[in-house]
Amino acid sequence: MPNARATHLTRRGILAAGGALGLGAVLAACGDEDTNSGGSDSTASAKASGPWSFKDDRGETVKLDKVPANIVAFTGVAAALYDYGIQVKGVFGPTTTTDGKPDVQAGDLDVSKVTVLGNEWGKLNVEKYATLSPEVLITTTFDDAGTLWSVPEESKDKIAQLAPSVAISVYDRQMTEPLQRMWELAESLGADMKADKAVQAKKKFEEAAARLRAAAKAKPDIKVLAGSASDQLFYVSGTNFSIDLEYFKALGVNFVEPSEKAKEATGGWFESLSWENVDKYPADIIIMDDRSSTIQPADITESTWKKLPAVKAGQVIARSPEPILSYDKCTPLLTSLAEAIEKAKKVS
């Protein structure tokens, strides 16, 4: 498995790059968190009054006397749990925009009902965190070292002393795997996964996957490029490591792949291009990073961008490099790409 660390990259560059989000290089590897995994893995619904345990994707098992009520989670994780009926007490990560509205990563989460411990990546107020009497901290991990996503390196030890952590891996696997793990986590926390809402959401996801597979099969020559924009650079993501791109590729989508040599500097995640060279890779559809930390297509003023065939043809759609891991939120990602391929004209 290729190592995703690239310590010479800036966090700004990593956050701006759609496929580079999971680089553990921004943080030092959390090797000291390798504790005894303990034994049983609880993935069945836990009784509210009974003990709770969950074995996460680092192989670590958290055991508590009861199902945790004081949950603190990365915003996207909190949004996924919310879709399954689990309410967290505090969040960290992009939660609200400058005008106070929910960030794209907050999904349907009622941001007025959670304590925001840090409203950007890598920010978590330890003192405020302590006041919540946290019982468990839940986030994702984007590397094979199990680095806790968005937990500040400088205060990770203090944070670890206040509550155990659970990490769902979103590194080097297809989207369906972390979706299933989040389902299991929500179920262990008391979510009713037999409820019609949950059952129908999963069914619609499977239907959307079938539609995308059919669209890709019908138009195999349509090339899709995954991009992300910053002030100075345009990033082209490779399909390795990113859960959405790996899954879409498995369904048959024909992706533009940066050269392996070009990706070496980023541990294989993406290639950085100057705006003058944004036309290096011909594409029929461009899927663009939708996070608030990046520049959105409507705000890109570079003339080279506007001349791209896919842009001129109106064949640019949004991509969520950090998808909210509920079936309800991932279904539109499949549907949007399927529709774009179905309607796409060959312009590259």
**Could you report the per-residue pLDDT of 20-71, keeping only the tens digit for each?**
333 333 333 333 333 333 333 333 333 456 799 999 999 999 999 999 999 9
Predicted confidence band of residue 315 (pLDDT cuts 50, 70, 90): very high
* CB distance 24 to 145 below 8 Å: yes
Predicted confidence band of residue 266 (pLDDT cuts 50, 70, 90): confident
CA distances, 184 to each of 58, 67, 161, 325, 329 (Å): 15, 14, 26, 12, 17
Q: pTM of the entire structure?
A: 0.86
* CB distance 270 to 23 below 8 Å: no
**Could you report the per-residue pLDDT of 99-113, keeping only the tens digit for each?**
999 999 999 999 999
* CB distance 156 to 227 below 8 Å: no
Which segments of 246-329 are extended strands (E)? Answer: 254-255, 270-274, 285-289, 316-319
Q: What mean pLDDT is reported for the chain?
A: 88
**Could you report the per-residue pLDDT of 26-40, keeping only the tens digit for each?**
333 333 333 333 333
